[in-house]
Amino acid sequence: MMNLKVPLGYKSNLNLLQTQYWIKEIKDFFQQSLAKNLNLVRVSAPMFVKQSTGINDYLSGIEKPVSFEMEEENGINSLVEIVHSLAKWKRYALEKYNIPKYSGIYTDMNAIRSFEVLDNTHSVYVDQWDWEKVIDESDVNEEYLKETVRNIFNTFKELEEHLASRIYDYKRLLPDNIFFITAQQLEYLYPELTPEKREREIAKDKKAVFLMKIGDTLESGIKHGDRSPDYDDWDLNGDILIWNPILDDVLELSSMGIRVSPSKLVSQLEKSNTMDRVNLEYHSKLINNELPQTIGGGIGQSRICMLFLQKAHIGEVQSSIWPEEMVNRCEDNNIILL
């Protein structure tokens, strides 16, 4: 399946080679600023993990990872999965590397999500900065989450100012501050709309939004969105949403949150009927208090490039595979895919 929106009269100001130059400029600048603002050091990370560890991100629980078998010395094959994200691996890595409190790591995460419905902002190839930071148990609260979100938003602002100083007549997109709202408050505002349309309305109004508390059931009996039960605390998580004028729509740049405590992990596993995970390696270590308390998230690399270069399609800033019909429609409408 695919969906494609073609902005009326669209034509990028950058050719292919110029686009490649600015992709590197954006990625280099942003990751350096992010590392400085959040006190992070870059590390290498796996592209695939053994299924038996429970380290892979199960997303909403229904998405099937791309997998293959690896032969072990005992002749029994292990099932290996290409990561969906590194949400759980990072917490494990912080413990392994003995990262001190209020320091953290970030890495380039590359994933394949073969189940994605392809459109202007979704690809089967996912590239993001996955980051994770050790915090104190006293920081497990909404204010610490908001403070971290503001630091990340300020990093976006620094990137925007950097591009404005380098690109003639650059059009800034971001407001001065990011707006905070919970999924329940958003439902109160727009009870007649779907969760997706609520996000569009609030982003159009506020331009930059952190939508909090995603994963649990709302008063209406529905969820704003599905979240894996075994990394984010559903009361202390959220998405950074930015209004994207080129597509006249909301664009999610980041999903993040304070991570589950052992008791919150068990509670969310029970709510989501996934208690079968408790004996997996990752979950056992967490329940036994062998992993640090952390905050972390993922920030889309191609989505940032797409937004700040004002491209109409994520394929203009990343090399991926697209249906032939989409490729042809893009060519006919000045959308030049890499």
Q: For this structure, is 318 an active site residue?
A: no
**128, 254, 301, 302: which is the annotated catalytic residue?**
128
Q: For this structure, is 303 an active site residue?
A: no
Q: For this structure, is 57 an active site residue?
A: yes
Contact 90, 296 (CB under 8 A): yes
Q: For this structure, is 169 an active site residue?
A: no
**Cα-flanking dihedrals φ and ψ of residue 286, to 5°?**
-65, -45
Q: For this structure, is 255 an active site residue?
A: yes
Sheet of 77-82: strand order equals 48-50, 77-82, 67-71
**91, 113, 259, 277: which is the annotated catalytic residue?**
113
How far lies 214's CA from each of 18, 53, 190, 253, in Å? 38, 26, 16, 15
Tokens of 55: 């380290």
**Cα-flanking dihedrals φ and ψ of residue 83, to 5°?**
-65, 145
Identify the CA nearest to 165 among candidates 337, 330, 328, 29. 29
**139, 232, 233, 239: which is the annotated catalytic residue?**
239
Diameter over CA atoms, the chain: 63
**158, 160, 216, 252: which is the annotated catalytic residue?**
252
**228, 255, 268, 310: which is the annotated catalytic residue?**
255
Residue given tokens 């589950």 in the structure block: 260
**25, 33, 57, 227: which is the annotated catalytic residue?**
57
Q: For this structure, is 230 an active site residue?
A: no
Supply the residues annotated as catalytic. Answer: 57, 113, 128, 239, 252, 255
